[in-house]
Chains A and B, each alone.
Chain A
Amino acid sequence: MLSVAVPLGLALCLLLALPFLLHYHLEETRARQHALDSENRVLELAQQAAVQEVASVLSDLRFLHEQNEMRDLLRGDAPGARERLAAEYLTFVSQKPRYEQAAVIGADGGEVVRVDGNDGRPTVAGAPALQWKGDCAHFQETMRLGRGEVHLSPLDLILQGGAVQMPLKPVLRASVALFGAGGERRGVLTLSYHGRRLLTRLRAYAQGGASQLWLLNEQGYWLAGPDPALEWGFAFPERSDRTLAAREPEAWERIRAEVAGTVDTADGLLTFRRVYPLAGDASASDAPAMASPHRYSWTLATLLPHAALSKRMAGLAGTLLAVYGVTAPLLFGGTLWLTYRSARGRARLREAQRRERERMLELAHANRLASVGEMATQMAHQVNQPLTAIVTYCAAAQRSLQSGAGDLSRVREWVDAIGEEAQRVSAIVRGLREFVRRGKMAPVPLDLGEVVAGVVGALRPDADRRRVKLGVETPAGLPAVLADRVLVAQALLNLVRNAIEAVSVEPSERRRVVVSLALEGDRVVVSVADTGPGVDPGLAGRLFESFVTTKPEGLGMGLSITRSIVEAHGGQLRYDPAPSGGAVFSFSLRRSAP
């Protein structure tokens, strides 16, 4: 039983795991999507912030460019224009601490005016402090621009004396070229914006979340990154390989190819979005000559560590495992229990069938005992013949021996004959004992012709008394059947006796019973046909039930027992009305293997 139940239970538990796994998978997909949405929201806010910040810088730059003091300076004929401009810039930088510096550089590269933020205490650079910027990239490039065009430098670190100024000071320079009244280039106006402010603002969007916010430049260097040591790689010769391109080449490939997207990296889920800072310049449309805003880009990215995602899923997995842990043993136990129950049910059925067979054998035995009286007459006759022979031989032998002149060889012959006759008696007595014995069903290869002859012989005295012609039709060469000798004889006895009783009500010339055997396929069919009145059609359906009888003194057990015996042999008892009136009862038995 366990050999079936355990694999079955395990299989069911595995099946039960499927919905759990499916649910987990769906949840994981949903959680990932949720995380992506969240990361994209952060990126979008950061993008807007970056664009706005740059836009406001450009706005300020244009404002300064259009100032009267600047016009005065460019006209070049107003005395004190430089001082007035410096004062103006001092006020401006004081009001707007986001700027590190506001400077005007002459066409020759030398600074004309410069105001330094100086960490909240803005100062105007005196003449000795003015520097030459002719070799600076932002000056050279801006000098090449047309009227109204803006130059935005990369977000870079401030250098001091050829080295990076410590602590690090990221700066973004926005510049515009200055033109004289005659259209000649007169220099460059530059606003230096505190990059730290932008970076801090951007990072604020990712705060409270599980992910880091990165800002990368076009070369893949971190401006804001996972670790300060990885940032500004381009500014330090020894850090030149600290790029995302070097660290995650595949991710970088995607970032270069796509404007926005998500890529799985070893460290986590990387969500990225390209930002064009110049796209937010309000006056860009007014300045068609301005360089394409898409020429200048940063990349904003967030990295959501795997751990954050799996931590979110861990709770669900725990819950699912707990539920599965409770339901699977229940299912397993239930399977064992049900298997046990059904095995018990089958055992009970087998037990009931066994009891039914025992009851049949019991009834059959009682039925045989009841038949013994009827058998006695036949028995007496059967035993009488050999007994008669025995006593007669004995008398002959005695006389022969007494006369003294006896032929001993004849006497010996008679004694032998006496022994044989005694064996005959013994066999008959054994047959009777077997008939009344109580025992188990013991199917053996059986010659049905012999059984029929025995039964017909036993019932012939009764048939003679009732003037019933009792016939037998058994073809030669029938195969043996596999059956219990006594039980089959009993079944046949019941049928033939019923038939004899049935025809007894007919006129004597019509009283006929025929027992016949026939081979049909692999079965031998036994049929008992009579010329009696047949069975009332109303009764035919219940004929083989117990206690159904047509005889005033009948118990109604005969056919029921016969049916039980036949069914115990794997056959079926049939009733058919005979074509010429009367009844035919038949059953078949399987032939024994040759």
Chain B
Amino acid sequence: MSAGDEVRVFIVDDDASVRRSLRALLGEVGVPAADFPSAEALLEVVHEDTRGCVLLDVRMPGMSGLQLQEVLRERGLKLLVIVLTGHADVPMAVRAMKAGAVDFIEKPFNPQLLIERIQACLDAEAQAHARGQRRRDAEALLRSLSTREREVLELLVTGKPSKVIASTLGISEKTVDVHRSHLMRKTGTRSVAELVQLWVVAWGKEPGS
């Protein structure tokens, strides 16, 4: 299992004491963690498949927390970010959340609360990861269909009857039925309703929209 597959907490803070204490706490809780003294150090390690959650101090020399968030988004990384800040004023919170942070915690924090937030974040990450997995699976199923099957499917999920599909595609009703049974067997669905659900998971949108 590569490092990118393990779910971890990435601690980014210029203060070594804060980093070490967080490592100690997370170790005690049983959450795998890694720590980095700067945003640049983190960016050297993470990649598209890296899973986990970033505990980010917004105020650091060099690249700031907000700038790091931008870079992560540009690179399409799916890491979730919890912003830690010493001066939790409203404009700072707004900027952090706008930049895509899932949470915002003021230093010094209640450790219990921090752990809960981290757990919540990891749960959300896991869900997002699972959601992504399902979408990728559905997409793979749909991509395995032939061109004609896909044309039939697109019309099926919009609720068109076989007669309309046949006339639309310029084929016989019987041929439409054959295609339907093939694609349902390939996708493992037993009804049009299941087909619609698979479509939504794969493409993330209602058919016909």
Contacts and interface: CB of A to CB of B under 8 A. Distances in A.
- Answer yes or no: do A and B interact: yes
Interface stretch (A138-146, A222-230, A362-370, A376-384): A376-384
A392 B87 contact: no
* Chain A interface extent, by class: 20 to 34
Nearest to A421: B17
Interface string B20-42: 11101101110000000000000
A385 B18 contact: yes
A388 B108 CA distance: 4
A388 B28 contact: no
B86 A384 contact: yes
Interface string A284-312: 00000000000000000000000000000
A392 B28 contact: no
A464 B112 CA distance: 31
A395 B112 contact: yes
A377 to B, nearest CB: 6
B84 to A, nearest CB: 8
B109 A391 contact: yes
A461 B25 CA distance: 29
A381 B20 contact: no
B87 A391 contact: no
Contact of B107 (A388, A393, A400, A414): A388
Given A377-B87, A380-B86, A380-B87, A395 B111 contact: yes
Contacts of A421: 17
B91 to A, nearest CB: 9
Q: Which of B21, B22, B109, B110 gathers the greatest number of chain A CB atoms within 10 Å?
A: B21
A424 B108 CA distance: 15
B180 interface: no
A377 B20 CA distance: 24
B111 A391 contact: yes
Contacts of A464: 59, 64
A399 B28 contact: yes
B87 A385 contact: no
Contacts, number: 74
B108 A396 contact: no
A574 interface: no
A141 B107 CA distance: 153
A394 B109 CA distance: 12
A258 B40 CA distance: 125
A395 B25 contact: yes
B111 A389 contact: no
B15 interface: yes
A581 B24 CA distance: 52
A390 B107 CA distance: 11
A417 B21 contact: yes
B88 to A, nearest CB: 10
A410 interface: yes
Main secondary structure of the interface of A (DSSP, over half): helix
Nearest to A376: B87
B28 A387 contact: no
A259 B200 CA distance: 162
B111 A392 contact: yes
* Chain B interface extent, by class: 20 to 34
A257 B1 CA distance: 147
B21 A392 contact: yes
A109 interface: no
Contact of A461 (B15, B18, B87, B112): B87
A396 B27 CA distance: 8
Given A388-B107, A391-B111, A396 B86 contact: no
B126 to A, nearest CB: 23
Interface in A436-470: 461, 464
Interface string A335-359: 0000000000000000000000000
Contacts of B24: 392-393, 396, 410, 414
Contacts of A392: 18, 21-22, 24-25, 111, 114
Contacts of A424: 17
B111 A387 contact: no
Contacts of B109: 388, 391
B18 A389 contact: yes
B59 A396 contact: no
B86 A385 contact: yes
B17 A386 contact: yes
B187 to A, nearest CB: 48
Contacts of B29: 399
Contacts of A381: 59, 86-87
Interface in B101-153: 107-112, 114-115
A417 B28 contact: no
Contacts of B112: 395
A391 B108 CA distance: 7
A424 B29 CA distance: 27
Interface string B153-179: 000000000000000000000000000
Nearest to A394: B111
Interface string A392-417: 11111001100100000010001001
B108 to A, nearest CB: 4
B108 A384 contact: yes
Contacts of A391: 108-111
Given A388-B107, A399-B28, A417 B87 contact: no
Contacts of B111: 391-392, 394-396
A387 B110 CA distance: 11
A594 to B, nearest CB: 33
Nearest to A399: B28
Contacts of A417: 17, 20-21
B18 A396 contact: no
B47 to A, nearest CB: 29
Enumerate the 5 nearest inter-chain pairs by beta-carbon distance, A residue then B residue, closest first: A395-B111, A392-B21, A389-B17, A381-B86, A384-B86
Interface of B: 15, 17-18, 20-22, 24-25, 27-29, 59, 64, 86-87, 107-112, 114-115
Given A388-B18, A390-B21, A396-B24, 20 more contacts: A381-B86, A384-B86, A385-B15, A388-B15, A388-B21, A389-B18, A389-B21, A391-B108, A392-B25, A392-B111, A393-B21, A394-B111, A395-B25, A396-B25, A399-B25, A403-B28, A414-B24, A417-B17, A420-B17, A424-B17
19 contacts: A385-B86, A386-B17, A387-B107, A388-B15, A388-B107, A391-B109, A392-B18, A392-B22, A392-B25, A392-B111, A392-B114, A393-B21, A395-B25, A396-B24, A399-B25, A410-B24, A414-B21, A417-B17, A461-B59
